Amino acid sequence: MTEEKQIEFRGGPILSVLPLTIFVFCSIGLVIVGAPAVEGMILAAMLGISIGMLFARDFAGYSERIFSLMANRTATVAVVCWLWAGAFSGILASSGLVEAIVWVGWKLSLNGAWFTLTVFISSALFATSVGTGLGTIVGFTAVMYPAGIVLGANPAALLGAIFSGAAFGDNLAPISDTTIVSAATQETDVGGVVRSRLKYVLIASAISAVLFVIFGGGSSAISKAEAQTLLSETADPTGLPMLIPAVIVFIVAVSGGHFLAALTAGIFAAIVIGTLTGVFPIEQIFHVTPEGSVGGSAVNGAIALIPTSILTLLLVTAIGIMQAGGFLDKFIDWLQKTIARSVRGTEFAILGLITFTNICVSVNTVAMITAGPLANILRKKFNIHPYRSANLLDTVSCSFPYLLPYAATIVAAIAIQQQVAERYSFVTVLSWEQFVPYCFYGLVLFPLMIGAVATGFGRKQG
């Protein structure tokens, strides 16, 4: 950030925290009323920045600084990456990949606890491919949840497996919004972050897999004939070739290729493979309507992330106001005199910041956008590797949002269960407290990172 004149507030530097504070409290209000939507948070951020202006001694200078703060490179990198990632994930999500995975499980004759384990692995694979935890939960709950009940899986563990797989993919996928933000806010590369994160992800997923084998079994709710009918309606191998573009993106990104190059290769591969194998017609990706508008999975995927992109610019601006107003320097100094007096203490401070913001906001990407710049300042003071701080941000942000009762993922899962129950009489709608104890990946990941900070595990290379 270039050196510019400090913003002076009536009441001193403490007033520069108003924009972010108002945003946080408004976001908590949205959570309480059951509407933690990004669109509402955009208005909350706008309100906070506008009220902050009332306390600035120079209205014109404050207004001009807003424009310069929105030009922050961290936010720009995240926005550009999201557009490409949104287009790619949109193509894969609409390609029938979920139904193809159901087909694989069906043909392997898996049932009971083994089907629950398969759901965990397959939802993790899907989430890693498309980079969306919420999309994975919606798709898999609609299809794999009733199929798993048919095959004798424990319904609560089955939902836990879906949530765990979604958190896994959100945590690891190179095209996940959390991965992109964790890397961008720490000023580092996506591929390196993903490589360094593998050790945490593999430990948490291995423990989760064992627990799903132990607790994943139940008894079939319907006859074998009904089960076969249900599976035949939902299973379809057509989308299996779309795993290839996902693998291409992962390999290119992790091997050190530029992230945009990896996504571009994945998009082209998806278009070529999808159309040549008959997975979808080219019109499904992009088309022009008779009314003169455009649509398609690539368009919808990219456009869907625009609200998050706008919110990112606003939050980066709110944090920049705190820095320009002098509060951020005082806050960092206080942390260094109290908690962040060593490498371990600094890492615990970062864990505390990202945990608090996740609990308040409940949307993990927004939480990381809020806490990420602060974590970046802290980690530089002790020369902590950016991979390490990025991993602390992302792992915590892929645990709480899959466990909190007011999180969008939980609300969506209950709503989808209700829709499925209307279609199939044997489906039970489970409440939050019934299935969250089985969301093993999120439950394991948070204490794992506390242990990693306490012991120094993974600190050297991030």
Q: Are 407 and 128 in contact (CB under 8 A)?
A: no
**Residue 287: DSSP 8-state:** E
pLDDT of 1 above 50: no
pLDDT at 443: 95
Q: Residue 294: in which H helix or E strand, if any?
A: strand 294-295
The 10s digit of each residue's pLDDT in 413-451 is: 888 888 888 877 788 888 888 999 999 999 999 999 999
Angstrom distance (rounded) from CA 434 to CA 456: 35
The 10s digit of each residue's pLDDT in 5-60 is: 788 999 898 999 999 899 888 888 887 787 777 889 899 999 999 999 999 999 99
- Please give the model's pTM, rounded to 2 decimal places: 0.81
The percent of residues in the chain predicted with pLDDT above 90, rounded, is: 35
**Residue 295: DSSP 8-state:** E
Q: C-alpha distances in angstroms, 160 versus 205, 403, 405?
A: 13, 10, 14
Amino acid letter, 123:
S
pLDDT of 211 above 80: yes
pLDDT at 220: 61
Dihedral sign, Cα of residue 360, residue 366, residue 372, residue 374: negative
Q: Which residue has the tokens 């009323």?
A: 33
The percent of residues in the chain predicted with pLDDT above 70, rounded, is: 96
- Pull the structure tokens for residue 234: 């939902």
Amino acid letter, 402:
Y
Q: In angstroms, how far is CA 66 from the centroid of its own chain?
A: 27
Helices (H), 94-132: 97-107, 112-130
pLDDT at 424: 76
| Half-sphere exposure for 84 (CA within 13 Å, toward CB) | 20
* Mean pLDDT confidence for 150-155: 84
Find residue 217's DSSP bridge partners: 153
* Mean pLDDT confidence for 63-83: 83
The 10s digit of each residue's pLDDT in 277-289 is: 999 899 999 989 8
Three-state DSSP at 153 gives strand
Angstrom distance (rounded) from CA 1 to CA 259: 23
Phi, psi dihedrals of residue 56, rounded to the nearest 5° = -80, 140
Q: Are 345 and 339 in contact (CB under 8 A)?
A: yes
217 — pLDDT class (breaks 50, 70, 90): confident
76: exposed, middle or buried (Cβ count in 10 Å: 0-12, 13-18, 19+) = middle
pLDDT at 2: 46
Angstrom distance (rounded) from CA 20 to CA 327: 12
